[in-house]
Structure 1
């Protein structure tokens, strides 16, 4: 599996660096590095993690993450984003046990000024939607709270961070309350070809259990065309730096396909 990952990463890097990308590929890559760019996109982000906990479990998470910007007026955009995870896991809850299904989703709406010269930013609400189809993957809680993103783009670089804090406000009283913070600093460098190299840190803090889950995700990306469809492909390893209750993974990898719909 590791050899396959390295081979695919090598092919992607070679393709991204040697293809004769058009000028708009660089602009698309720049917008994709910005979570609140005025660009309709539909990312499919697949994360596969191995050696989880004492039973050395495996978890595959496919995050479906459509992003739709809405123009409110001449000065403001509202960027809507939903993250809906589809999970299949083995040997996590018990040896030989398997769970699969849709997990709870998080929906965000960022209000962002259209013209920001020095710092791009957005702020708004985030909602936890109890849509899970499997009890092991569900909080059975509806939650809400604030979310914010800020970033700076210059000379091919994008540096920024996204964060949210969600509290449960309704749901199954037999389930634990949700009081959770998510912080995601990120950095990307994009070449003029549309290729990019960067990464992010995903830190989830559960205030109820006083536990942290931290992943480091380096990623290599490239913008290309599948027929007439503009697409970004990305791949990279995942490193689990912290996890609660002995649930740390040995390693993982991420592969992303993003379908782009520029105006």
Structure 2
């Protein structure tokens, strides 16, 4: 009887380890088939052309949904910005522009690989004109996440948008961003991460190319997977005013399992 209990304990322990590894592998998947709520922050210590620092706090919500026999992911993101308004100083704080996208999930023949593409739209919801574009913009998103390995996951988020309506006194929007991401699992829910966003503004030929290296911890509590992380990032190339020279990205992501 003791041997049976010991064998059962080993089986349950193996199942628990496998579940924990799956949680860790999927914790950073933007296309994971579960509802998610994220609180993320960029503290920008050095902004090119400005003496003051800046801060951008993001509230993000993601929800899977279906249209007929097709599967999609909706994500909405609203920033709370605190930016200098002149090179010499002075800050404005308030909500920024609301971004939303819907990615159609394409079956690539591997259940561990998520691939999505779809439309996005940005609404001029900024509470102060200095904190947003005052433009309606639309474009496309493309996302890939490969969790074939429980040790190393990688992928990217590619976005592009251009303005089509809004204030005639403001510059048009025509911008793209590429976010490569990589996650290396150390065990016990702890992992190394790199998720910089490389951006390019076609309107004024400005760009920013940071690199980052940070650490995260994934913890499950009941039906919720918590993902805490801290990732310093530094620019290796940039052009134009208002580009982050260095910043610290940190936050908490929550996934709600069924």
Give the TM-score of the pair, scaled to structure 2: 0.84
Which of 2, 9, 33 is equivalent to 2:28? 33
Q: Does residue 160 of structure 1 match 2:155? A: yes
Structure 2 match to 1:237: 232
For structure 2, the 5+ residue unaligned runs are 1-15
Question: 1-side partners of 2:36 and 2:113: how far apart?
Answer: 22
Question: 1-side partners of 2:126 and 2:246: how far apart?
Answer: 26
The answer to whether the 8 Å contact 2:208/2:244 transfers is no
Question: What are the Cα deviations for residues 67-106 of structure 1, in whole angstroms up to 9, with x where unaligned?
Answer: 11113455x321011221111134x524341110111122
Q: Does residue 188 of structure 1 match 2:196? A: no
The answer to whether the 8 Å contact 1:104/1:130 transfers is yes
Secondary structure of the 2:25 match is helix
Secondary structure of the 1:150 match is strand
Question: 2-side partners of 1:179 and 1:148: how far apart?
Answer: 17
Question: 1-side partners of 2:56 and 2:230: how far apart?
Answer: 15
Secondary structure of the 2:53 match is strand
Question: 1-side partners of 2:210 and 2:117: how far apart?
Answer: 24
Aligned length: 241
Secondary structure of the 1:188 match is strand
Question: 1-side partners of 2:66 and 2:225: how far apart?
Answer: 22
Structure 2 match to 1:82: 76
Question: 2-side partners of 1:250 and 1:113: how far apart?
Answer: 37
Structure 1 match to 2:97: 104
The answer to whether the 8 Å contact 1:224/1:231 transfers is yes
Distance 1:193-1:30 versus aligned 2 partners, 3 A rule: same
How much has 1:230 moved relative to structure 2? Answer: 3.3
Secondary structure of the 2:20 match is helix
Question: What are the Cα deviations for residues 108-157 of structure 1, in whole angstroms up to 9, with x where unaligned?
Answer: 11110367317431110011111111111111111111111123223222
Moved over 4 A (4+): 225-229
How much has 1:216 moved relative to structure 2? Answer: 2.0
Distance 1:227-1:56 versus aligned 2 partners, 3 A rule: farther
Considering only aligned residues, what root-mean-square deviation do their CA atoms show, in Å?
A: 2.3
Question: What are the Cα deviations for residues 155-186 of structure 1, in whole angstroms up to 9, with x where unaligned?
Answer: 22212111111011111111111111111111
For structure 1, the 5+ residue unaligned runs are 1-20
Q: Does residue 258 of structure 1 match 2:221? A: no
Distance 1:230-1:236 versus aligned 2 partners, 3 A rule: same
Secondary structure of the 1:28 match is helix
Question: 2-side partners of 1:210 and 1:130: how far apart?
Answer: 22
Give the TM-score of the pair, scaled to structure 1: 0.82
Q: Larger Rg: 1 or 2? A: 2
Question: 2-side partners of 1:142 and 1:115: how far apart?
Answer: 33
How much has 1:204 moved relative to structure 2? Answer: 1.2
How much has 1:190 moved relative to structure 2? Answer: 2.3
Question: 1-side partners of 2:225 and 2:94: how far apart?
Answer: 29
Distance 1:73-1:116 versus aligned 2 partners, 3 A rule: farther
Q: Does residue 148 of structure 1 match 2:142? A: yes
